[in-house]
Amino acid sequence: MNNKALVFDIFGDYAHFRRYYTTMSPLTFSVPPGTALRGMLGAILGIDREVAPEHFHDVELSLRILNPIKKVTIPINYIQVESSSHFSRYPAHKPTNIEFVKDPTYRVYVRTSNTTTYTTLHEKLSRHESVYTLSFGISEALANFTFVGEFDIQPIDTGTLGIDSMIPIEYVHALPSTGDLQCFTEKLPMKMLNNREVIEYREFLFERTGTRLLLNIPQGVQLSNGERIVFF
């Protein structure tokens, strides 16, 4: 695996990463799941959405919360139309309360042994270019990005470490004891096939405000900018 990581920040006004078990009043994950992150990579590189899910299965990711997670509920009035030509004459409408993450900002870390993917992604990020427009889960929640840089990956000794990223729950032997922390866990869809069938879910621990967590975990890496993360 490559010993360098590409790092970029993604941000927007709203985000909606729909929880797979909700129906009438859609709720959102607090953070973009792996399936959404891989979709964003596909948008930046211009990979067809029909093959993008499996295209990035070998890419390792990590995610850091930069802005405290805040959620709001917005009533949305869905309308039923047969086609765009009938937009002004819709037969029915469906008021629905949709939960959004407000002012989402995350830092994404990417590592891959695929030289072509790495080189092309580096070029796109450094030039602030993307083939398709990024969105936070749905097309109504557009996203933007800024390139942070390329950093060396340095192994660190296992044990009690201060970790900046989300952490797979299977690495966590005990929760932090500091009373001021706001720790949460979420089970996220991570990988899916090209037919949109999810084949991997993982549960993660994160701190709502993005505060570094001091934990005893079996693995982690440090970037040359000083950030400590866990790839998944």
Mean pLDDT confidence for 3-31: 91
Does the pLDDT of residue 11 top 90, yes or no?
Answer: yes
Does 114 score more than 70 pLDDT? yes
Task: Read off the pLDDT of residues 50-90 as tens digits, 9 standing for 90 and up.
Answer: 898 899 999 999 999 999 999 999 988 877 766 666 656 66
Q: Return all residues near 2 (Cβ < 8 A) that are at least 6 apart.
A: 111, 112, 113, 118, 153
pLDDT, average across residues 117-140: 96
Q: Give dist(CA 41, CA 18) in Å, integer.
A: 19
What is the spatial distance between Cα 35 and Cα 200, in angstroms, rounded to a whole number?
A: 10
Q: What is the pLDDT of residue 86?
A: 61
Q: Residue type for 202, please?
A: R
Q: Reply yes or no on whether the pLDDT at 178 is more than 80.
A: no
pLDDT value at 37 more than 70:
yes
Q: What is the pLDDT of residue 176?
A: 72
User: Which pLDDT value is given to residue 77?
Assistant: 80
* Average pLDDT estimate for 198-216: 94
**Which class would CATH give 4-76+96-229?**
alpha beta
Q: What average pLDDT score do residues 15-32 get? A: 87
Q: How confident is the model at residue 3 (pLDDT cuts 50, 70, 90)?
A: very high
Domain limits, the chain:
4-76+96-229
